[in-house]
Copies of this chain bind each other. A is one copy, B any other.
Amino acid sequence: MPDAEELERLVAEAEIRRVIARYCRGVDRMDLELVRSCYHPDAHDEHGSFSGTVDEYLEWVGALLAKYDATMHFVGNHLVEFDGADAAWVETYGISVHRGPADRPHLNLSTGFRFVDRFERRAGEWRIADRVAVADWSLRHGPDDWWPLPDEHRRGRRDVDDPVFSTRVRGHKNK
């Protein structure tokens, strides 16, 4: 049997990873309360030109997201370094893809980023206490670079009709 410390570490890393995945879902589906739930109430976030509290961040990011037609925050590498039992430095690599409306071509961008987070466990819950979003590169896409997805394809949405929510309620046969 692995020792208890190893297993505690696995459990904590998995929970931290789940928080990051919920954050991405919250942003991409524009569920700002889900985004909020990823932070401790007194957390700080620095993100591009923004730096401030969670409430301020939600206001800023909500307005920013509304400019796009769709976003995808795709994350990979996670590296968790514990600082005692109830805190950790966490680096997460990601690529975000942004699609803008036809008349705002400069909003079509992919960005390579890293979340550099301090997570803390308080009252049993791992959440972000401090985040710095680091930009590594950003690539423009021309408006004509997007291939028009056929109408019959199941498409992502930014509300409760996105398939991640609707399929479990209504089953796959009812789009």
Contacts and interface: CB of A to CB of B under 8 A. Distances in A.
Contacts of A70: 136-137
Contacts of A93: 24, 72, 74-75
Interface string A163-175: 1100110011000
A145 interface: yes
Contacts of A112: 72, 74, 97
Interface in A132-175: 132-141, 145-147, 149-150, 152-156, 162-164, 167-168, 171-172
A114 B77 contact: no
B13 A8 contact: no
A49 B153 contact: yes
A68 to B, nearest CB: 11
A77 B135 CA distance: 19
Categorize the interface residue count of chain A: 35 or more
B132 A154 contact: yes
A120 interface: no
A136 B152 CA distance: 13
A136 B136 CA distance: 23
A84 interface: no
Given A138-B149, A147-B109, A77 B79 contact: no
A22 B152 CA distance: 28
16 contacts: A2-B7, A2-B11, A6-B11, A72-B136, A75-B76, A75-B93, A116-B164, A116-B167, A130-B172, A134-B155, A134-B156, A134-B163, A135-B155, A138-B146, A139-B146, A140-B145
Given A74-B112, A134-B163, 7 more contacts: A1-B4, A21-B78, A24-B77, A44-B172, A109-B147, A134-B156, A139-B145
